[in-house]
Amino acid sequence: MATRREDNSLYGRSNSKRRMIFSVLAAVDIFGDLSFARREGSYNSNHFVESLKTLRLTSGDVHLSHNVAFHQSPLRSSFCRFYREVELLFIPPYASTFNRVEGVFAIVKRNDRSSERIAEAFSTR
């Protein structure tokens, strides 16, 4: 069973009873298709961009992010602008009632967020 930390990482226990932290970067396209990258540990700018490379982003896509520091890094901006030509947009702070993306993550919070069932947690049954 995984639980949420304040930095949006999840933590749980492995089979060895050792606490581990894992983070999930998810993308939902306009057709509702989900792609995600999971990593053990918290994200920083380098990890974030490496995970972006694994998502199904194409030229002309819009990347919508929270105002977390590593989302605003020059490394991410360079990746989106030159590597994939992806447009960058940010969710306004403290405006969760206006972002539909918050509804998607509410689904995840209500469902089992373990690494084995993350795709199921994003489903809208």
Q: Which residues constitute the domain of residue 88?
A: 3-122
pLDDT given at position 84: 61
Q: What is the pLDDT of residues 75-115, one digit of tens each?
A: 877 877 766 667 777 777 766 665 676 677 667 666 655 54
What share of the chain has pLDDT > 70, as a percent? 49
Cβ-contact 76, 52 below 8 angstroms: yes
Average pLDDT on 43-52 reads: 80
Cβ-contact 57, 86 below 8 angstroms: yes
Residue 8 confidence class, pLDDT cut points 50, 70, 90 = very low
Alpha carbon dihedral 42, 73, 54, 90, in 10-degree steps, equals 100
pLDDT given at position 73: 80
pLDDT given at position 94: 67
Residue 6 confidence class, pLDDT cut points 50, 70, 90 = very low
Cβ-contact 112, 1 below 8 angstroms: yes
Q: What is the pLDDT of residues 20-43, one digit of tens each?
A: 666 777 776 777 777 777 777 777
Q: Using alpha carbons, select from 50, 20, 19 the residue that is nearest to residue 37.
A: 50
CATH code for the domain of 56? 3.30.420.10
Instruction: Name the residue with tokens 């949006």.
Output: 8
pLDDT given at position 11: 45
Number of folded domains that form the chain? 1
Instruction: Name the residue with tokens 């993308």.
Output: 27
